């Protein structure tokens, strides 16, 4: 058979020769002349992705009818039952890998030590057994889980020179990432409500924010985060076909997985972004309403000293809210409107690594009670 390079698109594999003809039948598969009725060979480990493939050529009839889907050369074939993904990370430069490893391990250790020290300080000092610090301890726990979901895997990948992550590992990482990330957002909303009650209704604060409602708010935040995580996981599980196995990030980002799907993902896109919008819009709305009431109440305080004292109790929380939600919303909306893998990676580092690392220091340095408790803890350990 004569092959016309302008009308045919050919590609070779160890076990078959597949030809996709533009504008004609979707696919034809020809066996090599030296073998009769051979069994398909599985891809070797050297093939990128180390993946199992159900069919040798996955150009569907609908794709073959579209010239853009079947040009003069064929893109890497659509894959089913992907066994691994590849996390492209921050840089392909081998010379930068030791620097990235040291930088991220340093930030990870600082985040772990800072959050654990904050939890130890609050739990060991009776002066800090108040609702605001109870929520702050839970925020630190969520931050520890959040940063532990991404950085250790990236560090292991740099040390072993392997960027592969199994399909199950990718789904697990994505599930925990969304769980702890959403937990952060929900706890920031709860802390905004705590500040609203403390400033706008100080006489009812003890009755409103007693231990039972505080525990209920934390449990509700956890279950909402768990629901959001499982919904994202179920949506990704519906994807049965991927056109690539390279994820342009250092963790399994659900929006990246949707972008790699070769099937029609309009419904999944709508559901995922709707779930993300609800889980993001509701906390932001709660924070905005709380601070609107807080600002309105503070402006009615006659003395400047009273206004400053009231605002100072909210400064740390507002800083963390702006840092976390600013980068998270930027990544979420940016991936939908103006996809830019490099910008997404930089913003992802901000809200998955930098924010959990800075949270304990923002609250410690701007809070007089925590600084006093830290000094008492240091004095107690020094004298002992």
Instruction: Indicate whether 69 pLDDT > 70.
Output: no
CA distance 338 to 332: 10
Instruction: Indicate whether 269 pLDDT > 80.
Output: no
What are 117-145's pLDDT values in tens digits? 999 988 888 888 889 899 999 999 999 99
CA distance 29 to 56: 8
- Sorted by sequence, the CB contacts under 8 Å of residue 360 that are 6+ apart come out as 111, 114, 115, 117, 118, 140, 143
CA distance 271 to 231: 9
Q: Report the predicted TM-score, pTM, of the whole model to 2 decimal places.
A: 0.74
What are 42-64's pLDDT values in tens digits? 344 344 444 433 433 344 434 44
**Mean pLDDT to the nearest integer, 82-104:** 86
Q: What is the pLDDT of residue 143?
A: 94
Q: Name the residue ranges covered by the structural domains of the chain.
A: 1-81, 88-383
Given strand 17-21, what is the order of strands in its sheet? 8-12, 17-21, 28-30
Contact 79, 49 (CB under 8 A): yes
What are 289-326's pLDDT values in tens digits? 999 999 888 888 888 877 777 777 787 788 888 888 87
Segment among 50-54, 166-170, 217-221, 356-360 with least mean pLDDT? 50-54
Q: Average pLDDT over the chain, rounded to whole? A: 75
Tell me, which fold does domain 88-383 have in CATH? Answer: Rhopdopsin 7-helix transmembrane proteins (1.20.1070)
Please name which of 89, 102, 214 lies closest in space to residue 157, comparing C-alpha atoms: 89
Instruction: Indicate whether 378 pLDDT > 50.
Output: yes
Q: Residue 46: how many CB atoms within 10 A of its CB?
A: 6
**Mean pLDDT to the nearest integer, 159-172:** 89
Could you tell me the pLDDT band of residue 261, with boundaries at 50, 70 and 90?
Answer: confident
Helix ranges restricted to H, the chain: 61-64, 97-124, 131-148, 151-160, 167-200, 205-208, 211-237, 254-260, 266-299, 304-337, 341-349, 355-365, 368-383
Contact 364, 374 (CB under 8 A): yes
End-to-end CA distance of the chain: 89
**Mean pLDDT to the nearest integer, 258-283:** 73
Q: Cα separations (Å) of 44 from 50, 58, 59?
A: 7, 19, 22
- Sorted by sequence, the CB contacts under 8 Å of residue 276 that are 6+ apart come out as 232, 332
Q: What is the pLDDT of residue 334?
A: 62
Q: What is the pLDDT of residue 180?
A: 94
């Amino acid at each position: 058979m004569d092959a016309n390079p302008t009308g045919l698109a050919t590609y070779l594999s160890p076990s078959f020769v597949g030809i996709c003809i533009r504008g004609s039948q979707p696919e034809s598969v020809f066996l090599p002349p030296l073998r009769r009725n051979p069994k398909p060979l599985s891809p070797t480990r050297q093939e990128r992705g180390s993946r199992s493939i159900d069919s040798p050529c996955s150009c569907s009839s609908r794709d073959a009818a579209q010239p853009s889907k079947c040009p003069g050369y064929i893109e890497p074939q659509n894959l089913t039952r992907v066994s691994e993904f590849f996390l492209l990370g921050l840089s392909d430069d081998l010379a930068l890998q030791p620097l990235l490893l040291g930088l991220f391990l340093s930030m990870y250790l600082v985040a772990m030590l800072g959050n654990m020290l904050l939890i130890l300080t609050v739990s060991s000092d009776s002066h800090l057994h108040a609702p605001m610090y109870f929520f702050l301890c839970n925020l630190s726990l969520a931050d520890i889980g959040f940063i532990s979901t991404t950085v250790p895997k990236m560090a292991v990948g740099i040390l072993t020179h392997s960027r592969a992550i199994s399909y199950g590992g990718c789904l697990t990482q994505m599930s925990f990432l969304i769980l702890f990330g959403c937990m952060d957002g929900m706890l920031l909303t709860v802390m905004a409500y705590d500040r609203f009650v403390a400033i706008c209704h100080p006489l009812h604060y003890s009755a409103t924010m007693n231990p039972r409602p505080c525990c209920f708010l934390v449990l509700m935040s956890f279950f909402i985060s768990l629901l959001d995580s499982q919904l994202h996981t179920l949506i990704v599980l519906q994807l049965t076909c991927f056109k690539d196995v390279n994820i342009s990030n250092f963790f399994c980002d659900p929006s990246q997985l949707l972008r790699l799907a070769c099937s029609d993902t309009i419904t999944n896109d709508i559901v995922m972004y709707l779930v993300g919008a609800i889980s993001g819009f509701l906390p932001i709305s709660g924070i905005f309403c709380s601070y609107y009431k807080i600002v309105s109440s503070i402006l009615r305080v006659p003395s400047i000293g009273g206004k400053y004292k009231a605002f100072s109790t909210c400064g740390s929380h507002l800083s963390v809210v702006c840092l976390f939600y600013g980068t998270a919303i930027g990544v979420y909306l940016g991936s939908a409107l103006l996809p830019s893998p490099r910008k997404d990676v930089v913003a992802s580092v901000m809200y998955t690594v930098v924010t959990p690392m800075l949270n304990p220091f923002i609250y410690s340095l701007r809070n007089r009670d925590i600084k006093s408790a830290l000094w008492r803890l240091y004095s107690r350990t020094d004298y002992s």
